[in-house]
Amino acid sequence: MERRRYRIDGAKVRGWRERNGIEQALLAVQLGVRPATLCRVELGRRNASPSLTLAIAQRMGVDFTDITIDTMKQPRALSA
């Protein structure tokens, strides 16, 4: 099974959202998702689809890579 290359970084999303002065509920409505979904993304409890990640980046006025983690560059955990 192939791993996803990018994973959204919820802390970065929250940081950019707060710097832009946008309330979480308002951003969720603008993106067409439930506020609870965006909350889980920001807390790292849920990954976002590539299209939602791109929509968030566009709304924040940042690059896709500004709010994602390149999982291929992170070392994998070793099995015990």
In the chain, the number of structural domains is: 1
Residue-range definition of the domain harbouring residue 36: 6-70
**30 found inside a domain:** yes
List Cβ neighbours of 48 (8 Å cut-off, separation of 6 or more).
8, 41, 56
pLDDT of residue 15: 95
CATH number at residue 21: 1.10.260.40
* Percent helix / strand / coil, the chain, rounded to 5: 50, 10, 40
Dihedral sign (CA 16, 53, 43, 76):
negative
pLDDT of residue 56: 96
pLDDT along the chain (80 residues), means of 10: 76 95 96 96 94 94 92 63
pLDDT of residue 74: 62
- Give me 46's structure tokens: 């849920």
